[in-house]
């Protein structure tokens, strides 16, 4: 063998094969360690339980995406499949260590945001409820921010149109504001609030009326003073009324005496009337006797008439 034609050999290395073996071992260790770490990171060594979320639409959901609880990932989407009824079934693996956050009363939402991917979230209101069973199937509530956009835009457009109409120069709002300005100008004018409420001639009339009312009140005041003097003065109505009452008292005493005398006359008249009543009683007995006698005479005359040859048949017979 011609060594001159071989590539130049580098200086010999001590323990070359050992060092090469160490290098290989380092490589194998790195690869194995990385593989184990990735398996751990993928949750391959964790016991999990299955949760099935049913949604009308699985858009935005990807295999491998997280389900979060209070911002912490507690589950991972393993599979998305189409159910026989057309709904989307999202199969999620939840590590057993985190499964206690999910309860029977837990609520699951799928929110699609404007930026970033969709997010699956779990909410548990009552942590003392029974834990969610393995393989439990739950409906997922879908909140789609993009779906709200068209409605939001149309609402905003309507709002802007209303605002434009409101703020237009010929709008009702502008006219109202003009009126308010006129009112405030008049209110701050020389006649104040009265100028605001009344026209100028009416305000003058009101002012004149007030003056006349004032003078009338002054006159009424004078009249009241005079009436006071006439009623309550030394020769007033009250004193004269008192004397009149005394005279009336005397007259009433006289009238009482007179009435007593009339009482006596009446008693006597009553006694006379009693006598007359007794006489009337006797007359009643007499009348009864006369009536009896007359009835007897009548019956006698009737008897004579029946027995007389010219007696008539007075009976009425049915033939």
Partner 1 sequence: MSPLSSPQGAAAELARNAGQWLLGWWRTIHLAALLTVLALSPASYAPENRRAMARHLYLGTTQSLAWFTLLSLLISIVVIRIVLVTAVSYGLSQYALEMVVRVLVLELIPLAAALFAALRCTIPLAAEIATLRSGGGWDALAAQGIDPLRHEVLPRVVAGSFCALMLAAVNSVVTLVVAYLSVYGFTLAGFDAYTHTVGHVFSPAVSLIFLLKILFLGLAVSLMPIASVLDTVARRRANTSAELQGLVRMFLVIVIIEAASLVGNYY
| Footprint on this chain of partner 1 (rule: CB under 8 A) | 1-2, 4-7, 10, 13, 16-17, 19-21, 23-24, 26-27, 30-31, 33-34, 37-38, 40-43, 63-64, 66, 73, 116
CA-closest candidate to residue 50, choices 120, 129, 133, 131: 133
| CB-based contacts of 146-153 (< 8 A; 24+ apart in sequence) | 146/112, 146/114, 147/112
* Minimum distance, C-beta of residue 158 to partner 1, in the bound complex (Å): 31
* Minimum distance, C-beta of residue 171 to partner 1, in the bound complex (Å): 41
Q: Give 122: exposed, middle or buried? Use CB within 10 Å, 0-12, 13-18, 19+.
A: buried
By beta-carbon proximity to partner 1, the closer residue of 15 and 215 is: 15
By beta-carbon proximity to partner 1, the closer residue of 62 and 288 is: 62
- Output Rg (C-alpha) for the chain, integer angstroms: 65
* Minimum distance, C-beta of residue 11 to partner 1, in the bound complex (Å): 10
By beta-carbon proximity to partner 1, the closer residue of 7 and 190 is: 7
* Minimum distance, C-beta of residue 161 to partner 1, in the bound complex (Å): 33
By beta-carbon proximity to partner 1, the closer residue of 97 and 230 is: 97
Dihedral through CA 267, CA 270, CA 271, CA 273, nearest 10? 160
CA-closest candidate to residue 98, choices 55, 63, 132: 132
* Minimum distance, C-beta of residue 85 to partner 1, in the bound complex (Å): 29
By beta-carbon proximity to partner 1, the closer residue of 63 and 82 is: 63
Which two three-digit tokens encode residue 122? 């779990």
């Amino acid at each position: 063998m011609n060594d001159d034609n071989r590539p130049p050999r580098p200086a010999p290395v001590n323990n070359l094969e050992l060092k090469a073996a160490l290098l290989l071992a380092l490589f194998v260790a790195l690869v194995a360690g990385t593989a184990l770490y990735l398996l751990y990171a993928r949750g391959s060594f964790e016991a999990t339980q299955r949760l099935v979320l049913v949604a009308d639409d699985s858009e935005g959901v990807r295999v491998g995406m997280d389900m979060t609880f209070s911002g912490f990932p507690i589950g991972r989407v393993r599979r998305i499949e189409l159910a026989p009824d057309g709904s989307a079934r999202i199969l999620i693996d939840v590590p057993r260590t985190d499964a206690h956050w999910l309860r029977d009363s837990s609520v699951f939402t799928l929110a699609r945001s404007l930026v970033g991917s969709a997010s699956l979230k779990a909410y548990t209101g009552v942590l003392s409820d029974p834990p969610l069973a393995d393989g439990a199937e739950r409906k997922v509530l879908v909140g789609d921010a993009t779906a709200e956009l068209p409605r939001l835009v149309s609402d905003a457009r309507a709002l802007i149109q209303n605002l434009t109409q409101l703020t237009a120069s010929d709008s009702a709002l502008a006219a109202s504001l003009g009126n308010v300005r006129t009112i405030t100008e008049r209110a701050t004018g020389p006649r104040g609030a009265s100028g605001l409420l009344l026209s100028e001639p009416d305000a003058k009339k009101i002012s004149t009326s007030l003056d006349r009312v004032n003078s009338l009140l002054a006159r009424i005041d004078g009249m009241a003073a005079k009436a006071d003097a006439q009623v309550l003065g030394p020769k007033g109505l009250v004193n004269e009324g008192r004397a009149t009452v005394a005279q009336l008292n005397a007259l009433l005493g006289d009238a009482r005496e007179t009435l007593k005398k009339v009482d006596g006359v009446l008693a006597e008249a009553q006694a006379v009337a009693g006598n007359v009543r007794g006489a009337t009683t006797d007359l009643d007995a007499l009348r009864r006797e006369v009536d009896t006698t007359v009835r007897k005479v009548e019956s006698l005359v009737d008897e004579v008439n029946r027995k007389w040859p010219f007696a008539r048949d007075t009976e009425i017979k049915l033939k």
